[in-house]
Chains A and B, each alone.
Chain A
Amino acid sequence: MEALETFIVESGIPEEAAAYKSIVSDVISELVLGGAIGRIKVIVTPEDSLFQMAIVLRSSQPLVKLSDITNVDSGSAVKKEFTISVVEEKYLPELLEKLWARYGRGKVRQPERKTLIISAENPGEESELVKEMIIADPKRTLQSRLVEMAIRGTPEGFRVRYHSMDENSFVFVASEDALEPEWIEGAHQILAELQGEK
């Protein structure tokens, strides 16, 4: 599935749908969701104060392990320390958080942007251990960004919300009145249509 291979926004009046599509696409790009969404369809019915959205996600990204983004040497038993050379800087803040939590700030030195020196009693053992450390879970941040997108994308004041989320889909319905069961049903049907597309 390509990124954003289907991107439809529907509303009673075509010009309004086009204007709303620009809002949704601005929100998607603000939250850097372009690569994660495969197909998306939004239906806005202002007369009923109703907003329905269904999203098919692209295959989810795997967990990020420390060894995926850095090179770790086996360390020196004499100096009681080992070195981590960061290859992919994107996850550096999360990486530092995890290392600080494990060793304490005093034992993690960063003499240079991409080099971390860790003091440890058994550098050989520890270096093997940290390689398996999980640094980030793109799926989790993806979910929270999707929720943020749904809230930002909804017309203002539609405070009654329904959502359903799983591995590769997201359904969202919002209104300012109590939600009708057929609205939710309708949103799930939109999702089924999107999933049925080849």
Chain B
Amino acid sequence: MRRFTLIAIPYFWLLVLFLVPFVIVLKISLSDVALARPPYTPQLDLSLGWEGLRTFFSGLDFENFVFLTTDDLYWKAYVSSLKIALVSTLLTLMVGYPIAYGMARAPNEWRPTLLMLVILPFWTSFLIRVYSWMGILANEGTLNTVLLWLGVIDTPLQIMNTNTAVYIGIVYTYLPFMVLPIYSALEKMDESLIEAAEDLGCSKLAAFWLVTWPLSRNGIIAGCFLVFIPAIGEFVIPSLLGGSGTLMIGKVLFEEFFSNRDWPVASAVAVILLLILIIPIILFQRNEQKAREAEG
């Protein structure tokens, strides 16, 4: 009984905060658009009893999902989202790994401060930080002004409203999610392992590739998923920093929902997005579990 109660709490949580909303979204995705409030049919009318339930279910169909396949905007948006998420994850890893490595090798008394500096940006609103990137990347922005003043360029760089700006935005925003798991993996690592590798004939570089890198792998995988998963559905960064050429599924979803007021299609887009994300989420969970087993 006690055990049941203990298990029940997280399951209840999952039910209320994930499963119920998901069922609602799924239901809407199977409905038809209507000029009504809410803007879809059929509505479940429980006062009609069994008859009402039957008419409700007979009104549901997969029309919206079929529609998503007919317009290539959608799959292009999915592919483009995956591409942007993948590239920005790799970029974040390239920037984040050296930072995490440096932090883990820093003197002990410095580490809390460095950790603090990584977390510090979270203290400011995410939206404000993205807006300040607009200020930096704009044609008359800080970056171009400095580069022009230095004489590196003679015409302002068009960074704002391009995919580059989106990459910069994603890398910047998700960097802590990459740095922290890698740092924790590297920090746990016994430094004598490197010495042992060198003692057994490795050069410093070989010791890194044969020991440090494999031992930080779990951190790398965790960090990559933590960046990749939210980056696929990212909406704020592409809509603020990206231009008309930036095609991301989050943006499509927003437009369907708010501009077209087509809730059923928007819900279908969301359901597909979730299905796409389930694979990396499961992989991520499996990696975490393996890491825990290896430690235990």
Asked if chains A and B come from one complex, the reply is no
